[in-house]
Amino acid sequence: MLKIENLHATVEDTEILKGVDLEVNAGEVHAIMGPNGSGKSTLASVLAGREDYEVTDGKVTFEGEDLLEMDVAERACAGLFLGFQYPVEIPGVSNLYMLRAALNARRAARGEDEIDAMEFMERVNEKIAFVDMSPEMAKRGVNEGFSGGEKKRNEVFQMLMLEPKLAILDETDSGLDIDALKTVAKGINALRSPERATILVTHYKRLLEHVVPDKVHVLAGGRIVRSGGPELADELEAEGYAGIARDNREQATAS
Ligand code: ADP
Ligand code: MG
Protein backbone atom coordinates (compact mmCIF):
# COMPACT_ATOMS: atom_id res chain seq x y z
CA MET A 1 0.00 0.00 0.00
CA LEU A 2 2.72 2.46 0.99
CA LYS A 3 6.31 2.32 -0.09
CA ILE A 4 8.82 4.90 1.06
CA GLU A 5 12.28 4.75 -0.46
CA ASN A 6 15.27 6.82 0.58
CA LEU A 7 13.11 9.76 1.61
CA HIS A 8 14.99 12.96 2.38
CA ALA A 9 13.19 16.09 3.53
CA THR A 10 14.20 19.49 4.83
CA VAL A 11 12.46 22.06 6.99
CA GLU A 12 13.73 25.60 6.66
CA ASP A 13 16.86 24.32 4.91
CA THR A 14 17.70 21.83 7.65
CA GLU A 15 17.67 18.20 6.61
CA ILE A 16 15.40 16.27 9.00
CA LEU A 17 14.65 13.06 7.10
CA LYS A 18 17.89 11.47 5.92
CA GLY A 19 16.88 8.44 3.91
CA VAL A 20 13.74 6.84 5.33
CA ASP A 21 12.78 3.43 3.96
CA LEU A 22 9.48 1.92 4.99
CA GLU A 23 6.93 -0.42 3.48
CA VAL A 24 3.41 -0.85 4.84
CA ASN A 25 1.09 -3.49 3.42
CA ALA A 26 -2.69 -3.36 3.45
CA GLY A 27 -4.04 -4.92 6.62
CA GLU A 28 -1.07 -3.91 8.74
CA VAL A 29 -0.60 -1.62 11.70
CA HIS A 30 2.88 -0.16 12.07
CA ALA A 31 4.16 1.78 15.05
CA ILE A 32 6.88 4.38 14.65
CA MET A 33 8.66 5.24 17.85
CA GLY A 34 11.76 7.29 18.50
CA PRO A 35 13.27 10.07 20.56
CA ASN A 36 11.98 13.64 20.53
CA GLY A 37 13.03 15.57 17.49
CA SER A 38 13.91 12.47 15.46
CA GLY A 39 11.62 13.43 12.58
CA LYS A 40 8.46 11.43 13.29
CA SER A 41 6.07 14.35 12.83
CA THR A 42 8.10 15.50 9.85
CA LEU A 43 7.60 12.10 8.22
CA ALA A 44 3.86 12.20 8.94
CA SER A 45 3.63 15.75 7.56
CA VAL A 46 5.55 14.93 4.39
CA LEU A 47 3.26 11.96 3.73
CA ALA A 48 0.17 14.10 4.24
CA GLY A 49 1.60 16.82 1.99
CA ARG A 50 1.81 19.68 4.46
CA GLU A 51 3.56 22.80 3.27
CA ASP A 52 6.87 23.91 4.81
CA TYR A 53 8.43 20.51 4.17
CA GLU A 54 10.60 20.09 1.13
CA VAL A 55 11.32 16.66 -0.21
CA THR A 56 14.86 16.71 -1.57
CA ASP A 57 15.27 13.05 -2.53
CA GLY A 58 13.50 9.73 -2.56
CA LYS A 59 10.22 8.26 -3.63
CA VAL A 60 6.85 7.49 -2.05
CA THR A 61 4.20 5.36 -3.72
CA PHE A 62 0.69 4.90 -2.37
CA GLU A 63 -1.24 2.09 -4.02
CA GLY A 64 1.14 2.29 -6.93
CA GLU A 65 0.71 6.06 -7.47
CA ASP A 66 3.41 8.65 -6.91
CA LEU A 67 2.22 10.22 -3.66
CA LEU A 68 4.61 13.16 -3.78
CA GLU A 69 3.08 14.28 -7.07
CA MET A 70 -0.36 14.60 -5.45
CA ASP A 71 -1.57 17.72 -3.63
CA VAL A 72 -3.10 17.53 -0.15
CA ALA A 73 -6.68 17.24 -1.39
CA GLU A 74 -5.76 14.50 -3.87
CA ARG A 75 -4.05 12.57 -1.09
CA ALA A 76 -7.14 12.86 1.10
CA CYS A 77 -9.41 11.75 -1.74
CA ALA A 78 -7.10 8.81 -2.36
CA GLY A 79 -7.77 7.72 1.22
CA LEU A 80 -4.98 9.19 3.32
CA PHE A 81 -5.73 10.61 6.75
CA LEU A 82 -3.43 12.44 9.14
CA GLY A 83 -4.30 12.70 12.81
CA PHE A 84 -2.33 15.69 14.07
CA GLN A 85 -0.04 15.69 17.08
CA TYR A 86 -1.33 19.19 17.77
CA PRO A 87 -4.85 19.42 16.29
CA VAL A 88 -5.72 22.95 15.22
CA GLU A 89 -8.77 24.88 16.31
CA ILE A 90 -10.93 26.26 13.51
CA PRO A 91 -13.43 28.56 15.24
CA GLY A 92 -16.52 29.27 13.20
CA VAL A 93 -16.29 26.10 11.11
CA SER A 94 -18.35 23.38 12.75
CA ASN A 95 -17.00 19.89 13.01
CA LEU A 96 -19.98 18.49 11.17
CA TYR A 97 -19.79 21.06 8.39
CA MET A 98 -16.13 20.22 7.83
CA LEU A 99 -16.75 16.47 7.83
CA ARG A 100 -19.62 16.75 5.43
CA ALA A 101 -17.52 18.90 3.10
CA ALA A 102 -14.67 16.38 3.32
CA LEU A 103 -16.94 13.41 2.63
CA ASN A 104 -18.60 15.19 -0.28
CA ALA A 105 -15.28 16.26 -1.77
CA ARG A 106 -14.19 12.65 -1.76
CA ARG A 107 -17.48 11.50 -3.25
CA ALA A 108 -17.21 14.15 -5.95
CA ALA A 109 -13.70 12.93 -6.78
CA ARG A 110 -15.20 9.46 -7.32
CA GLY A 111 -18.04 10.83 -9.41
CA GLU A 112 -20.62 10.11 -6.69
CA ASP A 113 -23.51 12.30 -5.52
CA GLU A 114 -23.44 14.23 -2.26
CA ILE A 115 -24.16 12.25 0.86
CA ASP A 116 -27.81 12.18 1.88
CA ALA A 117 -28.47 14.39 4.95
CA MET A 118 -30.21 11.60 6.87
CA GLU A 119 -27.51 9.09 6.06
CA PHE A 120 -24.86 11.59 7.16
CA MET A 121 -26.54 12.24 10.51
CA GLU A 122 -27.02 8.52 11.12
CA ARG A 123 -23.36 7.99 10.56
CA VAL A 124 -22.47 10.94 12.82
CA ASN A 125 -24.64 9.60 15.64
CA GLU A 126 -23.19 6.13 15.34
CA LYS A 127 -19.59 7.36 15.41
CA ILE A 128 -19.95 9.93 18.19
CA ALA A 129 -21.55 7.25 20.34
CA PHE A 130 -18.64 4.96 19.50
CA VAL A 131 -16.05 7.50 20.65
CA ASP A 132 -18.20 8.62 23.56
CA MET A 133 -18.36 12.25 22.45
CA SER A 134 -21.31 14.53 23.13
CA PRO A 135 -23.47 15.54 20.12
CA GLU A 136 -22.98 19.14 21.23
CA MET A 137 -19.21 18.80 20.85
CA ALA A 138 -19.60 17.39 17.36
CA LYS A 139 -21.50 20.53 16.36
CA ARG A 140 -19.05 23.03 17.84
CA GLY A 141 -16.30 24.75 15.87
CA VAL A 142 -13.54 22.28 14.99
CA ASN A 143 -11.72 21.66 18.27
CA GLU A 144 -12.93 25.04 19.53
CA GLY A 145 -12.31 25.16 23.27
CA PHE A 146 -11.68 21.40 23.38
CA SER A 147 -9.27 20.06 25.97
CA GLY A 148 -6.16 18.24 24.72
CA GLY A 149 -7.83 14.88 25.27
CA GLU A 150 -11.06 15.96 23.59
CA LYS A 151 -9.10 17.09 20.53
CA LYS A 152 -7.53 13.64 20.23
CA ARG A 153 -10.91 11.98 20.64
CA ASN A 154 -12.20 14.27 17.91
CA GLU A 155 -9.37 13.21 15.60
CA VAL A 156 -10.56 9.63 16.03
CA PHE A 157 -14.16 10.66 15.40
CA GLN A 158 -13.05 12.32 12.15
CA MET A 159 -11.08 9.23 11.19
CA LEU A 160 -14.07 6.96 11.77
CA MET A 161 -16.29 9.24 9.70
CA LEU A 162 -13.84 9.32 6.79
CA GLU A 163 -12.77 5.64 6.94
CA PRO A 164 -9.37 6.25 5.37
CA LYS A 165 -7.37 3.55 3.61
CA LEU A 166 -4.24 4.70 5.35
CA ALA A 167 -4.42 6.53 8.66
CA ILE A 168 -1.30 8.16 10.07
CA LEU A 169 -1.88 9.04 13.70
CA ASP A 170 0.75 11.32 15.19
CA GLU A 171 0.82 10.88 18.96
CA THR A 172 -2.93 10.56 19.13
CA ASP A 173 -2.40 8.80 22.45
CA SER A 174 -0.38 11.51 24.18
CA GLY A 175 -2.03 13.44 26.96
CA LEU A 176 -4.94 11.03 27.28
CA ASP A 177 -6.42 9.65 30.46
CA ILE A 178 -6.99 5.90 30.54
CA ASP A 179 -10.62 6.04 29.36
CA ALA A 180 -9.80 8.28 26.43
CA LEU A 181 -6.83 6.07 25.58
CA LYS A 182 -9.10 3.04 25.43
CA THR A 183 -11.55 4.94 23.22
CA VAL A 184 -8.77 5.94 20.85
CA ALA A 185 -7.55 2.34 20.74
CA LYS A 186 -11.08 1.07 20.11
CA GLY A 187 -11.42 3.50 17.19
CA ILE A 188 -8.14 2.38 15.65
CA ASN A 189 -9.01 -1.28 16.08
CA ALA A 190 -12.44 -0.72 14.55
CA LEU A 191 -10.79 0.32 11.29
CA ARG A 192 -8.44 -2.65 11.19
CA SER A 193 -9.23 -4.62 8.05
CA PRO A 194 -7.42 -6.34 5.20
CA GLU A 195 -8.00 -3.28 2.96
CA ARG A 196 -6.69 -0.66 5.39
CA ALA A 197 -3.47 0.19 7.13
CA THR A 198 -2.45 2.39 10.02
CA ILE A 199 0.78 4.07 11.04
CA LEU A 200 0.87 4.97 14.71
CA VAL A 201 3.47 7.46 15.80
CA THR A 202 3.84 7.08 19.51
CA HIS A 203 6.25 7.58 22.36
CA TYR A 204 4.71 5.08 24.65
CA LYS A 205 4.05 1.39 24.77
CA ARG A 206 0.77 2.13 26.55
CA LEU A 207 -1.23 2.48 23.33
CA LEU A 208 0.45 -0.58 21.83
CA GLU A 209 -0.97 -2.73 24.59
CA HIS A 210 -4.43 -1.91 23.27
CA VAL A 211 -3.55 -1.80 19.57
CA VAL A 212 -1.02 -4.53 18.96
CA PRO A 213 1.06 -3.51 15.94
CA ASP A 214 2.33 -5.89 13.29
CA LYS A 215 5.63 -4.03 13.15
CA VAL A 216 7.48 -1.51 15.26
CA HIS A 217 10.11 0.84 13.86
CA VAL A 218 12.49 3.21 15.55
CA LEU A 219 13.13 6.49 13.81
CA ALA A 220 16.28 8.17 15.06
CA GLY A 221 18.34 10.89 13.43
CA GLY A 222 16.03 10.97 10.41
CA ARG A 223 16.30 7.27 9.57
CA ILE A 224 14.61 4.03 10.54
CA VAL A 225 17.36 2.44 12.60
CA ARG A 226 15.56 -0.63 13.93
CA SER A 227 12.49 -2.63 12.96
CA GLY A 228 10.91 -5.53 14.72
CA GLY A 229 7.71 -6.99 16.05
CA PRO A 230 5.67 -5.80 19.03
CA GLU A 231 8.44 -7.04 21.36
CA LEU A 232 10.65 -4.17 20.18
CA ALA A 233 8.33 -1.78 22.02
CA ASP A 234 8.95 -3.76 25.25
CA GLU A 235 12.67 -3.51 24.71
CA LEU A 236 12.44 0.25 24.19
CA GLU A 237 10.30 0.66 27.27
CA ALA A 238 12.91 -1.19 29.31
CA GLU A 239 16.05 0.35 27.84
CA GLY A 240 15.00 3.68 26.36
CA TYR A 241 16.37 4.97 23.07
CA ALA A 242 19.91 5.48 24.31
CA GLY A 243 21.04 1.96 23.40
CA ILE A 244 19.65 2.25 19.91
CA ALA A 245 21.16 5.67 19.36
CA ARG A 246 24.53 4.25 20.43
CA ASP A 247 24.26 1.21 18.12
CA ASN A 248 23.41 3.60 15.35
CA ARG A 249 26.41 5.86 16.00
CA GLU A 250 28.71 2.84 16.06
CA GLN A 251 27.29 1.65 12.75
CA ALA A 252 27.71 5.09 11.25
CA THR A 253 31.33 5.24 12.40
CA ALA A 254 32.00 1.75 11.07
CA SER A 255 30.55 2.46 7.62
P1 ADP B 1 9.43 14.35 16.39
O2 ADP B 1 8.02 14.36 15.92
O3 ADP B 1 10.12 13.06 16.13
O4 ADP B 1 9.57 14.76 17.82
P5 ADP B 1 9.75 16.50 14.48
O6 ADP B 1 9.56 15.86 13.15
O7 ADP B 1 8.62 17.28 15.03
O8 ADP B 1 10.25 15.40 15.54
O9 ADP B 1 10.99 17.47 14.41
C10 ADP B 1 12.25 17.07 13.90
C11 ADP B 1 13.18 18.27 13.88
O12 ADP B 1 12.71 19.21 12.91
C13 ADP B 1 13.26 19.02 15.19
O14 ADP B 1 14.60 19.38 15.41
C15 ADP B 1 12.37 20.22 14.96
O16 ADP B 1 12.80 21.32 15.73
C17 ADP B 1 12.54 20.48 13.48
N18 ADP B 1 11.35 21.09 12.89
C19 ADP B 1 10.15 20.48 12.71
N20 ADP B 1 9.25 21.30 12.14
C21 ADP B 1 9.88 22.49 11.96
C22 ADP B 1 9.50 23.76 11.41
N23 ADP B 1 8.27 23.97 10.92
N24 ADP B 1 10.44 24.73 11.39
C25 ADP B 1 11.69 24.51 11.87
N26 ADP B 1 12.11 23.33 12.40
C27 ADP B 1 11.24 22.35 12.45
MG1 MG C 1 6.21 14.74 16.83
Each residue's pLDDT tens digit, 63-109: 999 999 999 999 999 999 999 989 999 999 999 999 999 999 999 99
Between CA 100 and CA 149 the distance in angstroms is 23
The alpha carbon of 171 and the centre of ligand 2 are apart by a number of angstroms equal to 7
Expressed in angstroms and rounded, the spacing between residue 217 Cα and the centre of ligand 1 is: 19
The model's pTM: 0.93
pLDDT > 70? residue 125 = yes
pLDDT for the residue 250: 62
Cβ-Cβ contacts under 8 Å for 135 (sequence gap 6 or more):
125, 128
pLDDT digits (tens, 9 = 90+) for 107-124: 999 999 999 999 999 999
Distinct helix (H) and strand (E) counts, the chain: 10, 12
Cβ density class 120-156: b for 16+ within 10 Å, e for less: beebbeebbeebebeeebbebbbbeebeebbbbbbbb
How many Å apart are CA 125 and CA 196, to the nearest integer?
23
**Ligand nearest to the Cα of 32, by number:** 1
Q: Could you tell me if 167 and 159 are in contact, meaning their C-beta atoms sit under 8 angstroms apart?
A: yes
- pLDDT tens for 192-216 read 999 999 999 998 889 999 999 999 9
Which positions ≥6 away from 4 have C-beta within 8 Å?
20, 21, 22, 23, 47, 58, 59, 60
DSSP state of 70: S
Cβ–ligand 1 distance for 38 under 6 Å, the answer yes
Max mean pLDDT range (29-33, 142-146, 249-253): 29-33
**Which of 147-151, 174-178, 224-228, 247-251 tops mean pLDDT?**
224-228
Distance in Å, CA 126 to ligand 2 centroid? 31
Mean pLDDT to the nearest integer, 166-186: 92
Task: Quote the ligand 2 centre to 15 CA distance (angstroms).
Answer: 16
Cβ–ligand 1 distance for 198 under 6 Å, the answer no
Q: How confident is the model at residue 248 (pLDDT cuts 50, 70, 90)?
A: low
| Cβ-Cβ contacts under 8 Å for 181 (sequence gap 6 or more) | 173, 206, 207, 210
Is the CB of residue 200 less than 8 Å from the CB of residue 188? yes
CA of 34, closest atom in ligand 1: 3
**Count of C-beta atoms within a 10 Å radius of residue 237:** 13
